[in-house]
Every structure is written in C-alpha cells, then in structure tokens.
Amino acid sequence: MCTSIAWTNGDFYFGRNLDLETDFGQRVVITPRRHCLNLRREKPMAQHYAMIGMAAVMDGCPLYAEAVNEKGLCIAGLNFPGNAYYPVEEVADKAHIAPFELPWWLLGQCATLQEAKALLEGTQVVGISFGEGVPLSPLHWHIADGQGSLAVECMEDGMHIHENPVGVLTNNPPFDFHLHNLSQYINLTALQPDNRFADEVELRPFGRGMGAIGLPGDASPASRFVRAAFLMLNSECEEEEDASVAHFFHLLDSVAMTKGSVMAPCGEWESTLYSCCVNADEGVYYYKTYGNNQLTAVHLHNANLDGEALVEFPMVMEQHVLHAN
C-alpha cells in the first residue's frame, strides 16, 4: 500500500510513501541522458531526458518505483491488485510498453504532463514481466507536473486516463471511486464548526479541530486518500524550500504505516519503508526511511547528465541523531 502527493507551493513538489513488508533492493538512482534503456517491444532509448528516483537496479536497468525527469515531470507506481490488467495481445498503431518500462517511456521523452497524456493515448501497457522470478507488478500510476496531475489505470476494459484535481493517489479501489467518495466528507472543515445539530439546543465546540470530526484515521487506501487530500488541500506553508520540504513530509507522515498496525497477507508487518519528496523544479530528491528520520538529499543536476552509466546512491538506513550535549 502506498500514498503519493503532488503539491505546488511556489516550486512543485512530488513524493510518496512506499509501504511494503520487505525491502526490494531500493536505492536512489540517476539515469543520465545517454544510458541506453532497452525496451522489450520498442526501439531502444539511446538518448532521453535524465531522471532521478528510487529504484531497484537489475541487469543494469533502473526499475523505478517513482521518478522525476530533468524537465519536472513525475511518475509514481502504486499497488493496484485485482484491478490492474495488462493484455498480452498487441493493438495495431500503438506502442507496446511493459509496466516496468513506463517510467522510462514517459519521463525519457516527455517534458510536460500534456505531452505524457498524448503519448499515453498511443501506448498500450502489455503483460511482460522483467524476467524470470520477477512477477508482474499490478500497478496504477500517478503522473504530474506543476500544471496538473493524472491517474492512469490499465484495467480489463482498457486504459483509463483520469484528470486528478486532488493531486493524491493511493491504492484500490479505482480512482473514480476515490474522487466520488470525497463527497461523503463534504462537511469537513479546518475551521471551528457551527451548530447545525438543532436550533433549540445551544452547542459549542469544546476543543479545536472539531470541524474535522469524521476524518478517517485507518490505514485503508480509501481513508488515506481522504486524509491526505484534506490535509494537503488545506495546507498553509511558507514558500521557502526548507519549510516546504518539512511540510511535505508532515503530509506523508499523516498517512504513514507504523509497523504493527497492518499485517500483509504473507504474515509480515507492513511499514513505510521510505518517504520521499522531490523538488521537481530543482531536481532535488529528499528521502527518509523507517529507521532514519534524518533527511537525505540527492541532487540530479550535480551529476553528469550527459554520461552513460547509472549513478547509484545506497539508502542511509541507520538512525542519525544530533546530540545537543
């Protein structure tokens, strides 16, 4: 289970919680412009926009969980089991892209969300796994830039490209349910509530925050969607980098998984393995892990973006503490 957020506060910020029961060999990876990305059904991408994100690297290939390119276009894949469907049959006049290739395909050649949408309309995501022992991941995708946000879902009845006015994505059910479900919380407010119970009874709030009574607090995807959307859309923050990044991580913390609260079907505890926030305008990727609350920043534009070799940064997993005395 995961949550992703797209948020503009002066600069454009994009990030997510990656909630899982086990590590997948993840690390921050920069893919420079001349690193050849070999596609299974299409021509190799020998030259493309540079990108940065969290990935597992297998056979020299960066398998991104989320990434942003040098132009500020972002993508995150989130678990969508039971609904994700990738056909095997090819459709004429479409490009055929495996799920693990979609970040390369879009970020490698699109500078804007509108370019990505146009490319998606000519793309079919097909059921090709990376290789033996690497199963197909049932995903849907959050794609965004500073001008807007999309939710992309490949289902049995085809690819659905949803305009995402909220800028949030979680997991099942499909996106149109999440958007409609917000109507159940239309009464929530960050303000002190008025008495609508009855004119005959004099009622007053006895504490702050009572306008949001009913905001769900469980870890289900529907509840995380509502909570993240409410908190983000009611955000107030200075337009300064450190304040914006700190605020973004507070938003992610509000929907993070604490180990011991959700057990996966395999019998292991789920937790938020890492949370990330990228300043997409500046190409700075920040992250923290379940075991280390200190932020680590990796700068896309400090790397040689015209190189050929992947640039990998192992995650800082152990807790870092500033001792004041």
* Residues with a known catalytic role: 2
Check the CA dihedral 306-307-309-313 and report its sign. negative
In the Cβ-directed half-sphere of 43, how many Cα atoms lie within 13 Å? 4
**How many CB atoms lie under 10 A from the CB of residue 324?**
4
Query: Which segments of the chain does DSSP mark as H helices, in order?
Result: 102-109, 113-121, 175-181, 221-233, 241-253
Helices (H) and strands (E) in the chain, counts: 5, 16
CB 125, CB 143: distance < 8 Å: no
Nearest CA to 285 among 258, 307, 316, 321? 316
d(CA 280, CA 73): 7
* Crossing angle (nearest 10°) for helices 221-233 and 241-253: 150
CB 49, CB 69: distance < 8 Å: yes
Helix or strand run (H / E) with residue 279: strand 271-279
- Residue with the two structure tokens 């709030």: 205
Check the CA dihedral 188-192-194-200 and report its sign. positive
CB 43, CB 74: distance < 8 Å: no
d(CA 133, CA 324): 48
